[in-house]
Amino acid sequence: MTTFGIAFGSNLGDRAANLRRGLELLLARLPESARLTARAGWYETEPVDCAPGTQAFLNSVIEIEADLSPAEMHAHLQAVEQAMGRPAVREKNAPRTLDLDLLYAGGAVSADPALLLPHPRLRQRRFVLAPLAEARPRLVLPGFEQSVSGLLAALPDDPSGVRFMGPWR
C-alpha cells in the first residue's frame, strides 16, 4: 500500500459541493482496499497568479492508502477532474470546478515532467501547507529537510490569505 497526499481545490460554483463530489468520485474509482486515512479541514484562499476578479478558492488535503502506482493515482485524479467539468486543455490558472494535485506518493521521487514527486511547488504554497500541516504536521517528504509544519512556519508570505473555514461537512 502506498500513502498518497492529494490537494483539493475549487473556485467555481458551489465550492464545498465540488470538493465533496470530487472526493466521492475519487473513492468510487479506487480499489475497494483503498482507504481514506487523513482529511484536513477546509481553507479559503485568495487566488494566486489568477486574473483579477477570480473567486477565492476552497482548499483541503486528504491522504489515501491504496495499492496503486503514482501514475495510476495521477490518472484517477485527472479522470475525476474531467468528470467534474475541467477541460484537459485549459488556460494556466483559469478558474476551475475541481483541481486535484498529487502532492506525494509514499517515498517516491520522480523528475518525470508528467508527474513530479513530491509536488515541486508544495513548499511555496501556504494553501497546500496549511491543510497538510493540520493532517500530517510531522511528515517529512523525500528530499525535504523540514517537516510540513516547519515548511509552513518558514513561509515568508502573509498568513491572512489562507483562512480556516472548518471541517469537511
96 is catalytic: yes
* Contact yes or no for 19/42 (Cβ under 8 A): yes
* Contact yes or no for 97/56 (Cβ under 8 A): no
Catalytic residue of the set 99, 125, 126, 136: 99
What's the CATH number where 18 sits? 3.30.70.560
Domain count, the chain: 1
Give the per-residue pLDDT at 90: 59
Kindly give the pairing relationship between strand 162-166 and strand 57-66: unpaired
Give the per-residue pLDDT at 118: 93
Q: Which domain holds residue 34?
A: 2-166
In the chain (169 residues long), the average pLDDT of successive 10-residue segments reads 96 94 97 95 86 86 97 96 80 78 94 90 92 96 94 91 90
Give the per-residue pLDDT at 101: 94
Catalytic residue of the set 15, 39, 101, 123: 101
Cell of 132: 497538510
Q: For 15-166, where are the alpha helices, taking DSSP H only?
A: 15-29, 70-83, 126-135, 148-154
> DSSP assignment of 41-53, as one string?
-EEEE--SS--TT
Residues in the chain: 169
